[in-house]
């Protein structure tokens, strides 16, 4: 499911990007910004996740507009549809997911730390959105996971690939098989992001479906039933401490005003994409904790951003990555916008990791 309520007229710039969910006025009364719309809506049903591992695992969707915490879980027992927004979604953004390993549950969709590869420290990330009838799906390594020697030495324990059973896909193969080595991606169009983490992208034709198949070292078992579990409001993000910089377009919760006095410091590396460029932004913020899903009338704070923009070689890119284009429309990237810099004419964007300091 996708969020269908946010502050009308907002753009993808901070702090407007926080204004997702219900509206809380000065008197504390909640209301729907769009009274005639539901709280949530179904997305484009063009991407399915299939679990061939020996135990269930969870996909963690981030909140945007909102604090971008990965608190919208989908438990994948055998298979499930994931939410894919189209161009009508807020600010043209796409869905971003952290992919936890086998044995994980919905409770593992949260801000994590280096002690366990879950949440924003999960091994893999994925992004998806649709435009003009086509769906763009992206798989990549999470640079936060790759930075931890302990995680790399034990390995992720599972891999994933994109399959299109009915054809109609451009960009195959697109696979991450850990037996090929950490950080490797099986794709002729593989590229690397700002942190050096590899990814691949598949374009799915209108009316076709892409399957993201997850497998373990033994190949797993064939799914026999379908089970989809999704919740929308786990507890607020935890306060943790790390010292690592993320890569490929990720983000941690920006500031908002709440009654809490607890403070966290987040460092992010974000990536915004149009049809021809990515912009990498490094941001350090200190902010109070918050409850996602509600925006406030007087929700203002101050923060200090440090931004760096560089150039990475590749076709029509700025400070990040896109794979070589093989189709005339040159829409081979997928994911969503992140960070505080919005670019007009967004086609798709992708976040590869979030950092909580």
Q: Quote the CA–CA distance of 285 and 263 in Å, as a whole number.
A: 10
What are the structural domain ranges in the chain?
Answer: 40-230
90 DSSP assignment: G
Six-digit token string for 153: 């030495």
**Fold that domain 40-230 belongs to in CATH:** Thaumatin (2.60.110)
Of residues 274, 252, 293, the one with CA closest to residue 337 = 274
Give the per-residue pLDDT at 193. 76
Indicate the length of the chain as a whole number. Answer: 357
Q: Three-state SS for 153?
A: helix
Contact present, 43 and 137 (Cβ < 8 Å) = no
For the entire predicted model, the pTM comes to 0.64
Bridge partners (DSSP) of residue 73 are: 60
pLDDT in tens, 108-150: 999 999 999 999 999 999 999 999 999 999 999 999 999 999 9
pLDDT < 50 regions, the chain: 218-357
End-to-end CA distance of the chain: 29
Element counts in the chain: helices (H) and strands (E): 2, 21
Neighbour tally for 217: CB within 10 Å: 14
pLDDT in tens, 168-208: 999 999 999 999 999 999 999 999 875 789 999 999 999 99
Non-local CB neighbours of 230 within 8 Å, separated by 6+ positions: 1, 72, 73, 74, 75
Give the per-residue pLDDT at 304. 39
């Amino acid at each position: 499911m996708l969020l269908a309520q946010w502050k009308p007229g907002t753009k993808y710039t901070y702090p407007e990007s926080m204004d997702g969910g219900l509206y809380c006025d000065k008197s504390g009364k909640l209301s729907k910004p769009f009274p005639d719309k539901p709280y949530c809506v179904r997305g484009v049903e063009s991407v399915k996740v299939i679990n061939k591992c020996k135990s269930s695992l969870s996909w963690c969707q981030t909140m945007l507009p909102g604090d971008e915490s990965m608190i919208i879980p989908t438990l994948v027992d055998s298979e499930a549809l994931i939410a894919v927004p189209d161009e009508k979604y807020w600010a043209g953004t796409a869905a971003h997911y952290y992919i936890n390993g086998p044995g994980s549950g919905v409770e593992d969709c949260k801000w994590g730390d280096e002690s366990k590869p879950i949440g924003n420290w999960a091994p893999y990330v994925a992004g998806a959105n649709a435009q003009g009838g086509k769906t763009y799906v992206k798989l990549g390594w999470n640079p936060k996971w790759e930075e931890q020697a302990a995680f790399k030495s034990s390995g992720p324990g599972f891999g994933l690939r994109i399959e299109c059973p009915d054809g109609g896909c451009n960009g195959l193969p697109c696979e991450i098989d850990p037996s090929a080595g950490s950080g490797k991606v099986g794709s002729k169009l593989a590229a690397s992001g700002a942190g050096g983490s590899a990814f691949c992208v598949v374009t799915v034709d209108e009316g076709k479906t892409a399957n993201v198949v997850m497998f373990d070292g033994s190949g797993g078992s064939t799914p026999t039933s379908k089970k989809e579990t999704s919740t929308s409001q786990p507890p607020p993000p935890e306060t943790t401490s790390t010292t690592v910089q993320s890569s490929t377009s990720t983000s941690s919760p920006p500031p908002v005003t709440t009654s809490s006095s607890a403070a966290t410091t987040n460092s992010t590396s974000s990536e915004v994409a149009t049809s021809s460029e990515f912009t990498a932004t490094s941001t350090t913020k200190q902010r109070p904790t918050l409850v996602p899903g509600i925006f406030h009338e007087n929700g203002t704070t101050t923060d200090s951003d440090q931004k760096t923009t560089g150039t990475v070689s590749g076709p029509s890119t700025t400070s990040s990555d896109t794979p070589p284009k093989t189709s005339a429309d040159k829409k081979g990237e997928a994911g969503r916008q992140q960070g505080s810099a919005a670019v007009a004419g967004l086609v798709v964007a992708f976040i590869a990791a979030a950092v909580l300091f």
